[in-house]
Chain A
Amino acid sequence: MAKVIVSQKRCTVNPLKMSQPIGAALAFMGIEGSMPLLHGAQGCTSFGLVLFVRHFREAIPMQTTAMSEVATVLGGFDNVEQAIVNIANRSNPAVIGICTTGVSEVKGDDLKGFLKLVRASHPELGHIALVDVSTPDFRGAFQDGWSAAVTRMVEELVEVPLIETRFSRRVNVLPGCHLTPGDLDELRDLFEAFSLDPFFLPDLSGSLDGHIPAEFTPTTLGGISLEHIRRMGSACWTVAIGEQMRGAAITLEHRTGVPYKLFDRLTGLAANDELMSFLSQISGVPVPRKYRRLRSQLVDAMLDGHFYFGGKKAVVAAEPDLLATLTHWLHEMGCEIQAAVTTTTSPVLEHLPTEEVLIGDLEDLELRAAGADLIVTHSHGRQAAERLGIPFFRIGIPVFDRLGANHQVTVGYRGTRDLIFSVGNLFLAHGHEPTPETWLPPAQEANPLVSLKVP
């Protein structure tokens, strides 16, 4: 049982957290022909856009209602209407996902009302789906924005089936924002190996996996189609991955009667055994030979790797679901979680294998990292890792100073196996050669505040 505490600092230093609207915008990027639209000032969009471009190394479709000071005072209806009309004319999207921001929420714009008026006065835009989601910047964090957006997609886009027709092979998958396009590809293969037909919502593997499209498109390059989303009520199961997706899974169940199974993580031997049993059970297909081999390879990797993980002290900073995935896995490999820092509240936090979970920032992480063997967080941890000289494993969003963030795979037997190799190699690369002084007990540990002083 971990104690969850909130930082009492008044100044956030080196933020770990990013804001809700861009988490929601990313979720909309998992739909084909989609254009996310932030209802706020121009900067709300441009900061998020640049962040995603640096992370995914792809063109990012994302627009803004470009609220000026005057428009903010008078109310944003005209801007929302104009934005929708302009996007429709320039990009002809299938769906526009409209996310509020701090600006529009403080103003109190009635976005739902606006959309009704837009619908009434623009029948010519009837073919474009409009999904609104409330994502104030001053509440929650990135993963909250993602999960709120997916819940709203289910409410607005999934059709309530008139007669209950279920396709026994069809499974809905609701992945949390901590899964990469590479993870989704891995899961798709896995589901298909059980002769299942998975519908991912959202599906970043089609849009942000980095591929060469046949033609230029101003909206998303791929993702789940609106048609597929509409038909999600005809699946026989929903698999939700990450606690953040529970709300969307429940909403889907209430709407369509499709039952759900939630996996709080898919990294590690036990977690994947559970997934395999579940898939085998619902499909009636025995676990395929390929996955039996992969399991055996994972067990072998654990054997080979445990020498280097055992007793190592790790500090981890990530959003709740990713933090849970990583800390449980590191713990299962024999590491001690010296510190865990996260961005927002979640039921998973109190179950983490550590004494204390702090809702805080990367300065908090740095202060708690003295003497650790490993820092795990997104690219913004690089300054702390450099100052402390501690091996640094980058994961999460953003990873802007390494290639291939969209294909970093951590799910499944294979993903776990490769993660053991990647992190294990970091430990190996930073092994210390013995010296005549090695036997000496360690000197008293330095005051962490000293290392924090910036030159």
Chain B
Amino acid sequence: MSDLHAKVQQVFDEPGCATNQAKPTRERKKGCNQLLAPGAAAGGCAFDGAKIALQPITDVAHLIHGPIACEGNSWDGRGSKSSGSQLYRTSFSTDMTEQDIVFGGEKHLYKAIQEIAGKYNPAAVFVYQTCVSAMIGDDLEAVCKAAAAKLGKPVIPVNVPGFVGSKNLGNKLAGEVLLDHVIGTEEPEETTPYDINIIGEYNLSGELWQVKPLLDELGIRILACISGDAKYHEVARSHRARAAMMVCSKAMINVARKMEERYGIPYFEGSFYGIGDMSDALRNIAQLLVDRGAPAELLARTEVVIAREESRAWQRIAPYRPALLGKSVLLFTGGVKSWSVVAALQEAGLVITGTSVKKSTPGDKERIKELMKEDPHMFDDLKPREMYRMLKEAQTDIMLSGGRSQFVALKARMPWLDINQERHQAYAGYEGMVTLVREIEKALCNPIWEQIRKPAPWEHAAMDDELAIHIA
């Protein structure tokens, strides 16, 4: 476990993370691992985070070494899509029992890997440690090494048991696994001056496919997407890319930065959400490639595509304007990334009336003020009970948030749209913004709202709620 501790310290002290760099030296070393409060915690464990980050690799068998809880309670739950192999959706677990706990689970694990290789012939096997297998001291690295030698295919240890920390930490440790064991282990058949990596994009709801056609049109090749719709060999060969885009979330910044360090692949942080951000992303990709030696004419071609797509998107958003004009939105989400959608919402005529700034830095807050002219409410922390009250008093027309507050909104009879990672709609790229506006229109204008907000016939309109309950 000492290796693991060193890793944890290392990913905490991430020079590529702006938030971390803004802290004083001592704070910086402590990293961003907030202590989880027992009885008041929300969110997944580190193992969850590692699985989220790696499972989108489609032709790999993902084997969870632990009791059934870690896999049986959660499998086939993520919406990351594949254009090829469906193997990543097949669930593999050692389903540890008491016998394993007493006698050790290493042999069991070894045989499980053998079974998988025999039946499913995956490109590689990723083996995930869990709390229980870590506690009893199963040597994951050794078993994987032995199995890889025997089977002649990569067997990758993902030593990220749940109790080492949060989901976010798990994302980062998963990135370390790729850096240590996968990236740079194979050579591509050919390279072009137009090869890029996209890091931190999971192709949820097929969002990558809303961006890829534009890259194809420009002749830009995604050498590897880490890890959405990726194949094992693509990730293994990704060190030959000329440039990389690190997608908004900071989950895998260590991968982007270390690939720059080790292989000289420059990267930028960008987002596919929002029309302006999407254009900036294309521009930045083109610029980085040209800086690395691609012909300069790429820049002009990129501008042509951007101009065409932007105007098409704005044209397609315009028809929704009459229905949405002046309607108010409560935008409740952790990351800054949602802020890239604000321009599109405003263009569609919506007014942002409030937002959460819990995870925002002072810089973010300034940007929010700039974007929202009409002095919005900024909430540091809104308890569910408070949120419910606000929504019930209809202080807004629709709430956009993550799944966590879905039922707070719906039970208050308030239109709601999921804009976090669990959503089923793809909102990336130019077309994604059109989809988002269309979904808002669909949610807001659904005829159910008028029906369900009318009181039941036995609830006399003049009676207030309390009295009605009392009499009932």
**A residues touching B (Cβ–Cβ < 8 Å)?**
9-19, 21-22, 37, 40-48, 50-51, 53-54, 58-59, 63-69, 71-72, 79-80, 82-87, 90, 101-103, 106-107, 136-139, 141, 212-214, 216, 218, 380, 383, 400, 449, 452-455
The smallest C-beta distance from B407 to any residue of chain A, in angstroms, reads: 4
Residue numbers in B under 8 Å from A103 (CB-CB): 131-132, 135, 163
Asked if B465 lies at the interface with its beta carbon under 8 angstroms from chain A, I say yes
**B residues touching A (Cβ–Cβ < 8 Å)?**
1, 35-48, 63, 66-77, 84-87, 89-98, 100-101, 108, 111-116, 119-120, 131-132, 134-136, 161-166, 384-385, 388-389, 403, 406-408, 411, 413, 465, 469
Taking each of A15, A40, A86, A214, which has the highest tally of chain B beta carbons within 10 Å of its own beta carbon? A15
Tell me the complex Cα distance, A54–B85, Å.
Answer: 26
State the 4 A-B residue pairs at the shortest beta-carbon distance, nearest first.
A43-B45, A83-B39, A86-B39, A11-B112
B408 touching A22 by the CB < 8 A rule?
A: no
The smallest C-beta distance from A143 to any residue of chain B, in angstroms, reads: 13
Taking each of A45, A47, A449, which has the highest tally of chain B beta carbons within 10 Å of its own beta carbon? A47
Are A11 and B94 also in contact (CB < 8 A) when A214-B469, A216-B411 are?
Answer: yes
CB nearest to B452 among chain A residues: A212
Which one of B35, B44, B71, B96 contacts A46 once the chains associate, using CB atoms below 8 Å?
A: B44
Which one of B41, B115, B163, B411 contacts A69 once the chains associate, using CB atoms below 8 Å?
A: B163
Tell me the complex Cα distance, A21–B384, Å.
Answer: 26
A68 touching B36 by the CB < 8 A rule?
A: yes
Residue numbers in B under 8 Å from A51 (CB-CB): 73-74, 77
A19 touching B72 by the CB < 8 A rule?
A: yes
CB<8 Å pairs between A and B, sample of 11: A13-B90, A13-B116, A42-B43, A43-B47, A63-B40, A64-B36, A82-B39, A212-B413, A214-B465, A214-B469, A383-B76
A68 touching B91 by the CB < 8 A rule?
A: no
Tell me the complex Cα distance, A58–B403, Å.
Answer: 11
Tell me the complex Cα distance, A18–B72, Å.
Answer: 5
Which one of B63, B136, B166 contacts A42 once the chains associate, using CB atoms below 8 Å?
A: B166
B95 touching A80 by the CB < 8 A rule?
A: no
The smallest C-beta distance from A296 to any residue of chain B, in angstroms, reads: 34
B40 touching A90 by the CB < 8 A rule?
A: yes
Tell me the complex Cα distance, A17–B68, Å.
Answer: 7
Which one of B115, B120, B408 contacts A59 once the chains associate, using CB atoms below 8 Å?
A: B408
The smallest C-beta distance from B230 to any residue of chain A, in angstroms, reads: 16
Are A86 and B69 also in contact (CB < 8 A) when A138-B101, A214-B465 are?
Answer: no
Residue numbers in B under 8 Å from A216 (CB-CB): 384-385, 388-389, 408, 411
Which one of B39, B68, B116 contacts A11 once the chains associate, using CB atoms below 8 Å?
A: B116
CB nearest to B85 among chain A residues: A455
The smallest C-beta distance from A1 to any residue of chain B, in angstroms, reads: 27
Tell me the complex Cα distance, A248–B389, Å.
Answer: 40
Tell me the complex Cα distance, A72–B130, Å.
Answer: 13
Q: Name 8 extra pairs, CB < 8 A, besides A42-B44, A44-B69, A64-B38.
A: A12-B71, A12-B92, A19-B72, A41-B162, A43-B44, A59-B411, A63-B40, A103-B131
Residue numbers in B under 8 Å from A452 (CB-CB): 119
Tell me the complex Cα distance, A47–B469, Å.
Answer: 36
Which one of B41, B47, B66 contacts A64 once the chains associate, using CB atoms below 8 Å?
A: B41
Residue numbers in A under 8 Å from B108 (CB-CB): 10
Tell me the complex Cα distance, A274–B403, Å.
Answer: 45
Are A138 and B98 also in contact (CB < 8 A) when A37-B39, A66-B36, A380-B75 are?
Answer: yes
Residue numbers in A under 8 Å from B469 (CB-CB): 214
Are A68 and B68 also in contact (CB < 8 A) when A102-B131, A216-B385 are?
Answer: no
B136 touching A454 by the CB < 8 A rule?
A: no
Taking each of B41, B84, B112, which has the highest tally of chain A beta carbons within 10 Å of its own beta carbon? B41
A47 touching B73 by the CB < 8 A rule?
A: yes
CB nearest to B165 among chain A residues: A68
A139 touching B97 by the CB < 8 A rule?
A: yes
B163 touching A68 by the CB < 8 A rule?
A: yes
Tell me the complex Cα distance, A288–B120, Å.
Answer: 58
CB nearest to B112 among chain A residues: A11
Residue numbers in B under 8 Å from A212 (CB-CB): 411, 413
Residue numbers in B under 8 Å from A87 (CB-CB): 39-40
B38 touching A106 by the CB < 8 A rule?
A: no
Which one of B100, B162, B164 contacts A138 once the chains associate, using CB atoms below 8 Å?
A: B100
Which one of A42, A83, A383 contacts B162 once the chains associate, using CB atoms below 8 Å?
A: A42
CB nearest to A72 among chain B residues: B163
The smallest C-beta distance from A379 to any residue of chain B, in angstroms, reads: 8
Residue numbers in B under 8 Å from A59 (CB-CB): 406-408, 411
CB nearest to A217 among chain B residues: B385
B77 touching A102 by the CB < 8 A rule?
A: no
Tell me the complex Cα distance, A80–B38, Å.
Answer: 7
Are A42 and B41 also in contact (CB < 8 A) when A213-B411, A454-B85 are?
Answer: yes
B69 touching A21 by the CB < 8 A rule?
A: yes
Which one of B91, B120, B165 contacts A15 once the chains associate, using CB atoms below 8 Å?
A: B91
CB nearest to B35 among chain A residues: A68
CB nearest to B412 among chain A residues: A216
Tell me the complex Cα distance, A18–B115, Å.
Answer: 22
Tell me the complex Cα distance, A82–B40, Å.
Answer: 9
A86 touching B40 by the CB < 8 A rule?
A: yes
Are A63 and B384 also in contact (CB < 8 A) when A15-B72, A15-B75, A107-B135 are?
Answer: no
Residue numbers in A under 8 Å from B161 (CB-CB): 41, 69
Are A455 and B407 also in contact (CB < 8 A) when A54-B77, A63-B41, A64-B41 are?
Answer: no
The smallest C-beta distance from A152 to any residue of chain B, in angstroms, reads: 19
A10 touching B111 by the CB < 8 A rule?
A: yes
Tell me the complex Cα distance, A51–B85, Å.
Answer: 25
CB nearest to B130 among chain A residues: A102
Tell me the complex Cα distance, A44–B96, Å.
Answer: 15
The smallest C-beta distance from A37 to any residue of chain B, in angstroms, reads: 7
B131 touching A454 by the CB < 8 A rule?
A: no
The smallest C-beta distance from B332 to any residue of chain A, in angstroms, reads: 15
CB nearest to A379 among chain B residues: B76
B131 touching A11 by the CB < 8 A rule?
A: no
Are A10 and B112 also in contact (CB < 8 A) when A65-B38, A216-B385 are?
Answer: yes
B411 touching A10 by the CB < 8 A rule?
A: no
Residue numbers in A under 8 Å from B411 (CB-CB): 59, 212-213, 216
Taking each of A72, A79, A139, A454, which has the highest tally of chain B beta carbons within 10 Å of its own beta carbon? A454
